Structures are given as C-alpha cells and as structure tokens.
Structure 1
Amino acid sequence: MARGSVREEAPAVEDTMSATARTGGGTDPAEGRGRRGGRGGRGTERPPRRRRVLRWSATILAVFMTGTAGAGYLYYQHLNDNLEKGRRTSGDSKAPKPQPNAAGQTPLNILLLGSDSRNSAENLKLGGSRSSVGNKPLADVQMLVHLSADRKNASVVSIPRDTRVKIPECTDPKTGEVYPETETIINASLQRGGAGCTLATWENLTGVYIDHWMMIDFAGVVNMADAVGGVEVCVEQNVYDGPLPGVPGGSGLRLEKGKQKIKGKQALQWLRTRHAFYSDVGRSKAQHMYMNSMIRTLKEQNAFTDTGRLMDLAETATKSLKVSEEIGTVKKLYDLAVQLKTVPTNRITMMTMPTDVDPQDANHLVPAGADAEQVWSMVREDVAFDKNGGKDGEAAGSKKPSDGAEPSGDPAADDAEIGVLVQNATRSGTEGPVNARASALAALLVDKGFTRAAADGTGGLSAEKTEVRYPSADLKGDAQRIAEALGIPTSSVKRSTDVSGVTLVVGGDWRTGDTYPKKSTPRAGDVPESAGALNGSDSDECMDVYAPYRW
C-alpha cells in the first residue's frame, strides 16, 4: 500500500509511523529495531508522548482480543489489506442503542468470536478430523467486551457454547440464504448467517446493543500466542486432557501443577480444554484467566515501548482477524484502540453468564433466570462490575439509567379500543410455566378498561423478560399505553415481526402478582456469585483439574 493512501485515510497513524522511521534511522522496521535496545544513539531517548500513547492504545486492543485469541493492528501500512471484513448484523435484532449520559458518552460493546473452522491446512493440523473440512464453522468461543461510557472500567462476559437460546431469522450475507428462527445451542448461530447472526442472537438474548464483532480461528490463536511470547497460566494438579474410556476427544493439554508459561499450540489447547476443567463453564473461566494474564504480561514486557515488537504483533493479528465492516480500516481501529487505552487491570472484570442445566437436554445449558438477567442489566445500565472505582463506580459516566425508548409519534387509541393479546411465556430456565397466567393478566387489563384484551392459549412459550410487542409503527402508541397501565418500562416495548397485533408477552420475571415488579438499580460490584467473576489484577488464580484427568 502506498504511503499516500494511508495518509488520506489515517493521518494520525501515518504521522506516527513516519516519526518512528525517523527515530529508528530508516523506514525498515528491522533497521529501526536495530538502533533501539540500549546500544546508544537516539534509541536511548525517551520517546515522544504521542508515540507512547499510540503504542499503549494498540497493545490494549491486542489484549482485549486474546480471549478469542487476539489482536493489535495499527502500524503496518498494509493493515487494511490484511483485515477480512463482514456485515455487522444479518439477523432480526431488537436491541436499542444506549442513550448518551450527561457528558454525551455512550458505552462500547464488542462481540469476540473464536471459530472452530478446519477449512485450511493450518487449522486442520491444530485439531478436528478431515471429515469436518468444508463444513460451516461453529462459534465455540463467544465473549462480549463492554467498555463503560466514561472509559474507566471494562467487563468481559462469556456465554458457554452449549447454551440453548433462541436464534432469530438470519440471512447469509454471501449466499442470500434465509434461515428461519430456531431454538438451539448458541454456537450454531455462526452457521446460520455468519458472525452477524451471532451478534443478533446476543442482542435479542441480552437486550444489549453490540457495536462491532471480531472473529479469529485456531491458527490465529497459535500465531498470536507465539507473537506475544507466552502467557503464564496455573493448574492445581498435573493435567492431561486426553481421551478416556467412553469419553473421546480432549484438547491434548498436558501440564505439571503450578504456574508455567504456555504459547503456540499449547495455548490453543489451554483455551479449548473443557473435560479436564469440569465443563464448558470451566473452560470459560480458563479463558478468562488467560486473558487477564495476557494483559498483565504485555504491561510487564517492553511491548509498550518497543515499536518493532508491537509491529510484529500487529502484523500477526491483522492476518488472523475478521471484523465487522464498519471498523474494517486502520483509522477506525486506531480510534477504537484510543478508547480502550485508559482501563487499568484492577478495573477489568471477566465472568460467565450464570447458567442452569437445560431441562430438555442434560448436555446443554440455559440462562439462569434472575442471575443472568442481573448481569445483563448491569451491562445495559453501564454499572461497573468491580468496586475499585470509588464514586464513579456506581454508574459509569454518572448517568441516571434510561429506559432507552423514544415516545411514539402516533397517539394511542382509547383504552377500550386497544386490542391486546396476552401470552403466557413464564416458562424460564428450569422453572415451568405458571398456569393460567395469561388469563389472569388479560382479566386485569379488562378491569383497567382495556375491554378488548384476551388471553392466548398457545402453550410452551418461554421468555426471560416481559415485553409488549407490536408489529408496525402505527401500533407503537397503543403498545406503550399498555405498558404504562401495567407499570412495565417502555424499554420493554419492542417492535417485532413475531406478532400481528399488540401482544403482552408475560415472561419469567413476572410470575405472580398484578403489579409488574420494579427492579432496583444495580450497584457497582453487585455481580452474582454464580458468574464466577475474575478481576484483571488477580494473578493467584489456578484451575482445579477434574480427577480423571490428573496424572
């Protein structure tokens, strides 16, 4: 790529790259590295502040990507060509964008995906059978990075790959094939319209608007781990995650107990280990430990001051990543990195969405009702997951939580003229449905003057949260009036193609009573214990090994 093309797109990056070349004595990165490293000359001078900020920004972005294995990508002129891009969303998504706080700031949410693709010789060497070549990949690692509106704290939340969720209707952006809505485990979403379908699935499940996605495969994990130079991990006992009688497979991870540094294929094995760490939830915890350790490693290394080393990381990462198209340029990624640069390790929290065993299949999981909703409520309301922020930790950006809904421009009809169907969707997680719940609330609405309210006898419905859904803009005012009458927040009024008229979907959060339960605003650090939260500054955590996999 010519220098002029980079200058037009990202002058800040190009100017810094030019300054780097001047300090190093040439444009060759290897030559620049040769003149640094303490052998005299200008290489011993303190680098200009602008260069230090850029290095720090790029490295922090690299760190956040290491859970699906990695990235840092702001230096080389050909970074734009390295990056593979795709559509942000390809599914029917209902999550509203968050409202700015008093300072005009909004949170930033990035979905990180790790695919199990074997559709290259390099990936095939690292795991899986040849019979899987040509198959659409699954998203076996899924994490949401949430950066607070004030950019002072961050959180990472995983959803285990075997969690059963509702996947919306999605369209494959390459082939145009339309996949109908279905309910299955979440890693299958990648096969039903690419990363954009996984993003839409997350938005519908969590109510969190997701700005971007980034995805990497097996080979990218290995290459990035090698570029970083290894990450320290810890196990309580000797571990070998190999096949057992009646339990085939395994990652192949073999480690002695205690702390040790891993890289390359061994790093991939660590991130893929499930059986030896008890479950998919245990695997998520091991991935979080790896990410936290990676953050600390890069801060301890000279990666923040050695431009040549950082450029090597950037080269490796951009060849490994696929990103949503709206951030698929050097300038956009640079801007993103700048926003991530201020978060200290003790303000980073990693956890897994609380889950229960799926009552329909003991091999699968489902969101754990109130605990899962508490986690997503904190993300939506931008409340810190740690308690290390002092007064600013109560609500990032010091904003009063907003329900995020705009009033309808179309006024509601008279109460007696509003038709509303009430559905019983109180089956949630491991809890069965509440009998006659739709009839009870339909009767309540009739008593309040909504004489056209009626109960829907459809059974087997399930929803974590109560919503008032409407199919078209002319019915939005009617739907908001129903919500107002029942005390349901207007953020729970959603436009949906699933309904033909105003529909009250009574979810698992409203199983009893005539008044919708008001929820208190979560406070900083109010993370449910079942989420298994890990702080980024904690270097003493070790993974317990399931007894059959000890040696």
Structure 2
Amino acid sequence: MSLTPRSSEAAEGSGRHGGGRRGGGVQTDRPRRRRRALRWSATVLAVVILGTAGAGYLYYEHLNGNIRKGARSSGDGKAQKTAPNAAGQTPLNILLIGSDSRNSAENLKLGGSKSSVGGPPNADVQMLIHLSADRKSAAMVSIPRDTRVDIPPCKDPDTGKSYPATNDIINTTLGRGGAGCTLSTWENLTGVYIDHWMTIDFSGVVRMADAIGGVDVCVKQNVWDHPTPAQPGGSWLKMTAGTHKVKGEQALQWLRTRHAWGSDPLRARAQHMYLNSMMRTLRQQNIFTDTGRLMNLAEAATKSLKVSEEIGTVKKLYDLGMEMKSVPSDRITSVTMPNLPDPQDPRNHVVPDAANSAKLWQMLRDDVPLDKNGGTSDSGTKQVSAKPAPAKTPSTEPGRLGVLVQNGTQTSTEAAVQHRASAISDVLVQAGYARAAADTSGAQSVDKTVVQYPSADLQGDAEAVAKALGIPTSSVKQSTDVSGVTVVVGADWRTGTSYPKESKPKAGDIPDGTDAVNGADTSKCMDVYGPYRW
C-alpha cells in the first residue's frame, strides 16, 4: 500500500499546488496477459500470501506475533451494514491507511524533521477497498488527505483520551483516536459500513517494495520533485521520461510525490497506477513457487501491518485475501472522491463535491459496480428479505404527535436553504400533524433526508410521518441523538414540498470528477507539471 508522508509537507505546507493539472499520457506496454490473479496494493497482496508462507506451526505463530492490532472503531460511526443479497452475501469494505508517523528512527530517516517526533501521526493516505457481495467486482476509493470534513467524537483506545467532534482536514483523524477514528469519520461521511482497517507506515512501504524487488512506473516527461522558489519541500523523486523500476526508498518517493503531478488528487492517481503495476510484477514473478521469496514477503508484510483486531491473525488475513482473489482485473476500478476547492481555504484544502460524491457513496452502499464489464444484468447487488417488514402501528394520533423538523440542507459548498424546515413543517401541519414545528437552532449538513426516532415505541409514528412526506421507509432510523420524532431535511431535498424520487445509478455510471482508472489498463503514464520537468 502507498502512503504520503507529512515530512516534506512540514516544509512544503499542506497546500494544493495552485497550477494543478490533470495529466496522463499513453504509452504502449507489454501485451496483455491473463489477469485472473489478484491485483491489489502491497497490503492486500500480503493478505493473500500470509497463509501459505510458513510450513510449520512455530513459523505460523511467529508471523501472527508480527501483526499489530487495534480496535475497529473508536468514534461515533453511524453507518449500517448493507442487507444480504439473495445468496446471503454482503459487500466487504476495508479501509487502508498510510500513516506519516515519525516516531521511530527508521521512519524519521525516511523523511521529516525531528520536530515531528512524538507528535500524533496523520492518515495521509486513505483508500477504501469495496468488494462486491457476489465477489465479481471491486472498487478502490481515495479521499485526498487535505479534505475538510466533520469528524465525530473519538476516544483513543490506547490512552483513553477523548476528543470532541470537530471540523478539520481528514488526515488529522489518525491522531484523534487511531485508525478507528478515521474509520468512523469515513462511515459518517459516506454512509458506508466499513468492516476492517489496515495501516502501514513509511518503513513498511520501503520494506514491502524491497521484498517485491521493484515495480514499474511511468512518466511522460523528465521529473524532479524538489523545492522551488514558489513551493518549498518535495519528495526528491528524480527520473527521466519513460518506464522505470522503482523499489525501496525510490518507491516511497513515487508514492509521496504531489507537486510534480500538480495536485493532491493527482497523487492518488499515481498511487492507483503503482498498485496495479505492483500486482502485475508479482504475478509475473511466480512468487508462489519460490518459497524463499514468499517467506520474505510474508515476513515483510506481517511486520509492516497493523490491522483491526477481528482480522488480526494470519489465517483470517489469508481467508480475506482468498475472497479478493476471484475479482477479474477489468472489474476493479480505482477512483478519487469528487472534490472542490474549500471555500474557507481554496489554496490548501478541498471539500467533497456534494452531488457527485453523494452519488459515488450511493453506488457503494447499494453495491453497484463502478465498471460496465459485468454484462447488462449486473446493475448492483439485489438486496432481498424473506418478506417486507410490516409497518409499525403508530402510538399517537397525528394531531397529538410532536414532530421537530430540522434544516440539514447546508453543504460544504452551498449555504443552507432559508426557511426550509418551516416549509416542510407546514406540509406536515396540512397533513394533520398540528404539532409539527421547525427547529430554529440553526442549519445542519446532512446529505440525505432522514426521519429519526429515539425508541421502539415511536417507530410506527416515525414511519407514518415519513409516509406523509413521501420519504421511503429505508430513511427512517432509530437514533439516540433525538428526543422525539425528528425530520432532518437533507441536501437531497433543497426545493419543493414533495420528496424527490431517487434515480438509482447503473453499473459503470460513475459520477464526474472521480479520475477513474480500470485495473486492466496498463497504458497510463503520469504527466509532469511544468516547474518540475528538467
């Protein structure tokens, strides 16, 4: 897996380069070969090889002892698991995190100033691996590290320290309660339930790159990512135009590079391309028949990983890898969350592009493939249940039920719609809910409209309120955050008095701004931003 250190960023700041461009040229690569082998990051590949690396029990226990573990969630995550499909299968979501920790001599040597030692780490690379319920397609989704988001309350499971909710860039989450806080932040942002997390640091990337023996990468022009008068810092990656095999520290330089590509989101593209190339390299090397190399990779992988505790054994990681292995290369799609400049700090930070990112999250929640290579019938996992749950009987007559309506139409780029809560409370009054009233305490930011209720006895009342507004029953949720039936009007309902009918996305209908790369595409080269060509 790749990661992006904050080391040079301490010198370079956290800014996006103002002249960022989207690059990517075309270069003819080797003829396409069979691509049925697993093609993932170093971390995910490690998952596949661990179970066969040692023949003896003692070596197996040794590898188990290498793996560090932590709590799956340490924050207030609200996402719910997707319902099983007809075969009883559910999607699998794994969050891969690259830490910029300098709290070891090995990591400090690879980048950063001594002033960073002892400080909290940043989650400078964050990628969600989504494996479909039927295990026929997969997606890898990156969020730029300088994305400003709402971070929930988190508690560090190691120190017991509690952190209040805040609004900050997403890479700070790792220092506010560990990987479990990063996971909870993702869940609240996306609505996607995340099953596991894995982290790796600077030295882990170098260790894995050395064990692999090098990975081919490609640039269209000569590149040198070094400090300039306009922008201090850099990864110090230097190579001529064309394809080069990188390993060890040079591989880390490739994965760290940002300014030479022009922006932080373009760095994610370079990382996605590296991961695919690495998997091609491993397949060509036939490592599964080379016991010595296989053991070296297993040793490097287990020493490099920290994982959520429920998958903290070699066997569980191996089983996880076997599930991933069946996905064909052309059914794997890598994307970056659609984003826009942050109105509060447009040079340095980004925010989610509300409409396009919401569509991407919906595709993941509904398990809709990001590619079109599964055939016309492949439009997402069809969720089923034995019978639709019968509607609950309301406990109170509409005219006597207190209903609070809140304005959640504010987004990262748009102000809240004025008087929105009042408009919808008026609709409820006309429908017989005489005690419906607007909350005047201020606007919230909620992507999707929801009807909440605090306890089971009010579920029927909440469902009846949803029906009166045309809101689907799937948007009725129990919550400890409310004291009575509460309608939160989200950014999906900014106009009109009738709840808009949802149009479900189709396979391959990826929203704009994702910079998608298909796992079978071997033709891409990175375009170098002008000031970093030589």
Using structure 2 for the length normalisation, give the TM-score.
0.87
Q: Any idea what SS the aligned residue of 1:275 has?
A: coil
2: CA distance, partners of 1:102 / 1:279 = 43
Aligned to 2:239: 255
Aligned to 2:50: 73
TM superposition shift of 1:507: 1.6
Question: Within 5 Å, which residues of 2 pair with 1:375-524?
Answer: 375-396=360-381, 399-400=382-383, 411-524=394-507
Question: Within 5 Å, which residues of 2 pair with 1:147-166?
Answer: 147-166=131-150
Question: Within 5 Å, which residues of 2 pair with 1:290-439?
Answer: 290-362=274-346, 363-396=348-381, 399-400=382-383, 411-439=394-422
Q: Identify which of structures 1 and 2 has the higher relative contact order when contacts are C-alpha pairs closer than 8 Å and 6+ apart.
A: 2
Q: Which amino acid letter does the alignment assign opposite residue 50 of structure 2?
A: Y
Please say if 1:227 is aligned against 2:203: no
2: CA distance, partners of 1:312 / 1:420 = 62
Instruction: List alignment gaps of at least 5 residues for structure 2.
Output: 1-34, 55-59
TM superposition shift of 1:400: 4.4
Tell me if the contact between 2:369 and 2:379 (Cα under 8 Å) persists in the aligned partners.
Answer: yes
2: CA distance, partners of 1:460 / 1:520 = 26
Q: Any idea what SS the aligned residue of 1:248 has?
A: coil
Q: Any idea what SS the aligned residue of 1:276 has?
A: coil
Aligned to 1:33: none
Aligned to 2:265: 281
1: CA distance, partners of 2:279 / 2:377 = 23
Q: Any idea what SS the aligned residue of 2:40 has?
A: helix
Aligned to 2:130: 146
2: CA distance, partners of 1:401 / 1:294 = 38
CA RMSD of aligned residues (A): 2.2
TM superposition shift of 1:200: 0.8
Q: Any idea what SS the aligned residue of 2:452 has?
A: strand
Tell me if the contact between 1:349 and 1:533 (Cα under 8 Å) persists in the aligned partners.
Answer: yes
Aligned to 2:8: none
TM superposition shift of 1:410: 7.6
1: CA distance, partners of 2:276 / 2:521 = 8
Instruction: Give the count of matched residue pairs.
Output: 490
TM superposition shift of 1:88: 0.5
Tell me if the contact between 1:94 and 1:495 (Cα under 8 Å) persists in the aligned partners.
Answer: no
Using structure 1 for the length normalisation, give the TM-score.
0.85
Relative to total residues, which structure has the larger helix share, 1 or 2?
A: 1
Choose from 509, 523, 529 the match for 2:512: 529
Deviations 1:223-264 (A, max 9, x none): 101111111111121111111114221111112112211111
Aligned to 1:26: none
Aligned to 1:546: 529
Aligned to 1:168: 152
TM superposition shift of 1:70: 6.2
Aligned to 2:12: none
TM superposition shift of 1:68: 9.2
Tell me if the contact between 1:230 and 1:261 (Cα under 8 Å) persists in the aligned partners.
Answer: yes
TM superposition shift of 1:141: 0.4
2: CA distance, partners of 1:526 / 1:366 = 22
Instruction: List alignment gaps of at least 5 residues for structure 1.
Output: 1-55
User: Relative to structure 2, which stretch is displaced further, 520-529 or 302-311?
Assistant: 302-311
Tell me if the contact between 2:46 and 2:297 (Cα under 8 Å) persists in the aligned partners.
Answer: no
TM superposition shift of 1:466: 1.6
1: CA distance, partners of 2:204 / 2:389 = 42
User: Relative to structure 2, which stretch is displaced further, 421-430 or 85-94?
Assistant: 421-430
* CA distance 1:254–1:67, shift in 2 (3 Å): farther
1: CA distance, partners of 2:340 / 2:390 = 37
Q: Any idea what SS the aligned residue of 2:504 has?
A: coil
2: CA distance, partners of 1:289 / 1:353 = 16
Q: Which amino acid letter does the alignment assign opposite residue 420 of structure 1?
A: V
* CA distance 1:486–1:308, shift in 2 (3 Å): farther
Q: Any idea what SS the aligned residue of 2:299 has?
A: helix
2: CA distance, partners of 1:178 / 1:495 = 25
Deviations 1:389-448 (A, max 9, x none): 11453224xx1478x997787844322232221122212132222111111111111111
Q: Any idea what SS the aligned residue of 1:85 has?
A: strand
Q: Which amino acid letter does the alignment assign opposite residue 73 of structure 1?
A: L
2: CA distance, partners of 1:153 / 1:411 = 42
* CA distance 1:176–1:473, shift in 2 (3 Å): farther
Tell me if the contact between 2:83 and 2:383 (Cα under 8 Å) persists in the aligned partners.
Answer: no
Aligned to 1:22: none
Aligned to 2:221: 237
Tell me if the contact between 1:69 and 1:221 (Cα under 8 Å) persists in the aligned partners.
Answer: no
Aligned to 2:40: 64
Q: Which amino acid letter does the alignment assign opposite residue 345 of structure 1?
A: S
TM superposition shift of 1:171: 1.1
2: CA distance, partners of 1:406 / 1:88 = 30
2: CA distance, partners of 1:536 / 1:171 = 37
TM superposition shift of 1:540: 0.8
Question: Within 5 Å, which residues of 2 pair with 1:191-230?
Answer: 191-230=175-214
Q: Any idea what SS the aligned residue of 2:524 has?
A: coil
1: CA distance, partners of 2:255 / 2:46 = 12
TM superposition shift of 1:180: 1.2
* CA distance 1:149–1:270, shift in 2 (3 Å): same
TM superposition shift of 1:499: 3.1
